């Protein structure tokens, strides 16, 4: 016999599994701190790439001055200047990503909790079915 | 009003049922319009202007993820730039790279906003995008809308000064060309002003729409429109950006009207779609097609009274008993 309540529940769970579920279950494998630090680390890599591109654009833009004044320039001051800019930009970027991913973690935890409730209910239905069969 | 509601229900019902076919067609159309707009504005590579190639890319997009569509569109633009000049392609490619780094990190789900923004610019209703994204997305939608805005202005500026950008051969020329391209693309005040104004509008609309007050959507729309107009006008005056005041005011009002229409379709509606899922238990394999039910009733607020009150009828009855 088909149990329509069970089918409905399983359909809902399967459709969750297919879309958000995959990501949420992956997120669920981490502790909160681990997940957020991993994502912030990824952000740091992306941010560094972005900053490197900006620096490359800047250098290309001023290439003529660089070529002519290369030996006159204070390279240490130049490096220091850009390093401070890099640190400031990266810190802001990482702060934003910390908040974003902390929010996303708690959101997917909430969805997982709902999913676990459904699992529990499904388990109950199975138990009932087994009882009846006996 | 009932008629419009019925039409809305019909549209939603059809969308839910034929979602599988409608979405690819829409994707195809969006990509086709984007490619035509790109070719019309910066079509320097004649090979890519071939209608057959345009059609093939658009058809491919109809079943590719939307994010791949964005990358394809960006590649097409860079290819056109390459036909114009090497330095132009390098600058535009690097700017796109910076945008992708930000975009893919935070809002990879809002790809369609990135594509729609330049299209709305071409259609002269760019203010529709921040107002609509304030409702549909969140504060992070700023990134996708900003990417779309910048992409449009890159094409716009390259088109405006393509003759100077063409440049000649040789390292010397390439370097001056490079500086020129960066100056025209990155130092465009209008682009910077509109990007900032759009971000502010998105955040304002988002914050107000989430307030728990009646009509928060309408308040958010009105406030967002006013903020949009004010920020752009004040910014234009203080930075000498090239923006027409009448265009901003009327454009925003028209966009707000369009958002009202859009809001009618999206407010309080769960656009659940037909889903095909498979699973199994001990006895069966299930291949389920789940079609969402759509109710015709408008959501009603129920008022639950905590202290029991006399109904007017009951109190009248009591009076008449007293009279007797």
* Torsion angle of C-alpha atoms A49, A53, A59, A62, degrees rounded to 10: -160
Q: Cβ B182–A11 below 8 Å, yes or no? A: no
Handedness of CA A92, A97, A98, A103 (dihedral sign): positive
Total of domains in chain B: 1
pTM of the model: 0.78
What is the model's pLDDT at position B260?
87
- Taking chain B (324 residues) in runs of 10, the rounded mean pLDDT of each run is 75 80 91 91 86 92 89 92 85 89 82 88 89 87 91 87 64 75 83 93 91 83 93 89 85 91 67 71 81 55 64 51 48
A contacts of B88 (beta carbons < 8 Å): none
Q: For position B299, what pLDDT does the model report? A: 46
Select the highest-mean-pLDDT range: A8-12, A45-49, B170-174.
Answer: A45-49
- In chain B, the residue whose alpha carbon lies closest to the alpha carbon of A18 is B277
Distances from the Cα of A63 to the Cαs of A50, B97, B286, in angstroms?
20, 21, 65
Q: How far is CA B146 from CA A2, A58, B112, B263, B314, in A?
A: 52, 21, 13, 22, 62
Contacts of B179 in chain A (CB under 8 A): 61
pLDDT (0 to 100) of residue B204: 94
- Is B261 domain-assigned? yes
Beta strand B275-280 with B285-290 is antiparallel
Q: What is the pLDDT of residues A82-116, one digit of tens each?
A: 999 999 999 999 999 999 899 989 989 998 898 99
Residue B38 lies in a domain: yes
Chain B interface, Cβ < 8 Å to A: 90-91, 94-95, 97-98, 101-102, 104-106, 140, 175, 178-179, 182, 275, 277-279, 281, 284, 286, 288, 290
Q: Is residue B216 part of a domain?
A: yes
Note whether residue B111 is domain-resident: yes
Measure CB to CB from residue B101 to each of A13, A49, A64 and give the nearest one: A49
How many residues in chain A?
134
pLDDT at B293: 61
- Say what the pLDDT of residue B317 is: 52
B312, part of any domain: no
Is the Cβ pair A64, B175 closer than 8 Å? yes
What is B69-122 written as a DSSP string? HHHHHHHHHHHHHHHH-HHHHHHHHHHHHHHHHHHHHH-TT-HHHHHHHHHHHH
Question: Across the interface, which of A6, A10, A61 has its CB nearest the CB of B178?
Answer: A61
Q: A53–B286: do the CB atoms touch at under 8 Å?
A: no
What pLDDT is attached to residue B234? Answer: 92
Facing residues of A121 across strands? none
Average pLDDT rounded to a whole number, residues A50-57: 90
Check if the beta carbon of residue B134 is closer than 8 Å to that of residue B220. yes
Distance between CA atoms of residues B322 and B311, nearest Å: 17
Q: Would you say residue B315 lies in a domain? A: no
Give the chain A residue nearest B274 (alpha carbons).
A15
Q: What is the CA radius of gyration of chain A?
A: 26
Distance of CA B52 to the CA centre of its chain: 28
For residue B298, what pLDDT is reported?
Answer: 47
**Distance of residue A29 Cα from the nearest chain B Cα, in angstroms:** 20
A49 and B CB contact within 8 Å: yes
Q: Do A15 and B277 touch (CB under 8 A)?
A: yes
State whether A57 and B275 contact (CB < 8 Å). no
pLDDT of residue B1: 64
CB contact under 8 A, A18 and B277: yes
Q: Give, rounded to a whole angstrom, the gap between the first and last alpha carbons of chain B.
A: 49
Minimal Cβ distance to A14: which of B90, B94, B279: B279
A19-34 pLDDT, tens digit each: 777 888 888 888 889 9
pLDDT attached to residue B201: 94
Chain B contact present for A64, CB below 8 A: yes
Which range of residues forms the domain containing residue B17? 2-276
Is B308 within a domain? no
Encode chain A in three state secondary structure: CCCHHHHHHHHHHHHHHHHHHHHHHHHHCCCHHHHHHHHHHHHHHHHHHHHHHHHHHHHHHCHHHHHHHCCCCCHHHHHHHHHHHHHHHHHHHHHHHHHHHHHHHHHHHHHHHHHHHHHHHHHHHHHHHHHHHC
Which chain A residue lies closest to B279 (C-alpha atoms)? A14
Judge whether residue A119 has pLDDT over 80.
Answer: yes
CB atoms within 10 A of CB A78: 11
Domain residues for A105? 4-133
* A100 at B interface, C-beta within 8 A: yes
Output the CA torsion B140→B144→B150→B156 (10° steps). Answer: -150
**Residues on chain B touching A13 (C-beta within 8 angstroms):** 279
Count up the domains in chain A and report the number. Answer: 1
Question: CB–CB of A57 and B284 under 8 A?
Answer: no
Q: Is B235 exposed, middle or buried (0-12, 13-18, 19+ CB in 10 A)?
A: buried
How far is the C-alpha of B66 from the C-alpha of B71, rounded, in Å?
9
Instruction: Out of B97, B104, B279, name the one closest to residue A10 (CB).
Output: B279
Q: How far is B60 from chain A (nearest CA, A)?
A: 23
What are the chain A neighbours of B292 within 8 Å (beta carbons)?
Answer: none
Query: Are A122 and A13 spatial neighbours (Cβ–Cβ below 8 Å)?
Result: yes
Exposure on the CB side of residue A70, measured as CA atoms within 13 A: 6
């Amino acid at each position: 016999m088909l149990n329509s309540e069970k089918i409905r529940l399983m359909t809902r769970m399967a459709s969750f599994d297919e879309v958000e579920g995959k990501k949420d279950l992956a997120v669920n494998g981490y502790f909160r701190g681990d997940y957020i630090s991993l994502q912030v680390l990824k952000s740091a890599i992306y941010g560094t790439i972005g900053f490197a591109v900006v620096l490359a654009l800047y250098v290309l833009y001023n290439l003529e001055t660089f070529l002519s004044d290369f030996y006159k320039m204070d390279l240490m001051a130049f490096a220091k200047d850009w390093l401070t800019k890099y640190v400031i930009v990266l810190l802001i970027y990482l702060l934003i990503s910390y908040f974003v991913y902390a929010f996303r973690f708690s959101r997917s935890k909430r969805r997982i909790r709902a999913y676990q409730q459904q699992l529990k209910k499904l388990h109950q239905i199975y138990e009932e079915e087994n009882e009846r069969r006996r | 009003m009932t008629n419009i509601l019925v039409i809305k229900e019909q549209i939603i019902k059809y969308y839910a049922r034929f979602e599988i076919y409608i979405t690819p067609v829409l994707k195809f159309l969006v990509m086709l319009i984007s490619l035509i707009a790109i070719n019309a504005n910066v079509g320097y590579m004649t090979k890519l202007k071939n209608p057959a190639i345009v059609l093939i890319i658009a058809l491919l997009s109809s079943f590719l993820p939307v994010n791949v569509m964005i990358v394809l569109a960006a590649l097409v633009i860079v290819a056109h730039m390459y036909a114009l000049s090497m330095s132009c392609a390098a600058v535009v490619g690097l700017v796109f790279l910076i945008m992708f780094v930000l975009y893919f990190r935070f809002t990879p789900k809002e790809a369609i906003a990135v594509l729609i923004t330049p299209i709305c610019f071409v259609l002269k209703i760019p203010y529709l995008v921040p107002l609509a994204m304030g409702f549909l997305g969140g504060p992070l939608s700023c990134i996708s809308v900003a990417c779309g805005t910048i992409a449009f202005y890159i094409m716009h500026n390259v088109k405006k000064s393509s003759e100077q950008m063409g440049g000649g051969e040789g390292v010397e020329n390439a370097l001056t060309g490079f500086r020129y391209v960066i100056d025209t693309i990155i130092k465009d005040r209008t682009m910077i002003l509109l990007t900032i104004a759009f971000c502010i509008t998105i955040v304002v609309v988002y914050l107000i729409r989430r307030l728990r007050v009646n009509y928060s959507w309408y308040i958010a729309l009105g406030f967002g429109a006013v903020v949009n107009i004010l920020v752009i006008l004040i910014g234009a005056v203080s930075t000498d950006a090239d923006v027409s005041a009448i265009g901003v005011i009327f454009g925003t009002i028209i966009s707000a009207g369009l958002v009202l229409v859009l809001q009618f379709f999206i407010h309080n509606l769960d656009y659940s779609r037909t889903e095909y899922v498979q699973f199994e238990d001990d006895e069966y394999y299930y291949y389920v097609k789940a079609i969402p039910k759509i109710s015709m009733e408008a959501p009603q607020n129920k008022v639950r009274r905590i202290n029991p009150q006399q109904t007017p009828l009951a109190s009248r009855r009591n009076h008449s008993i007293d009279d007797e």
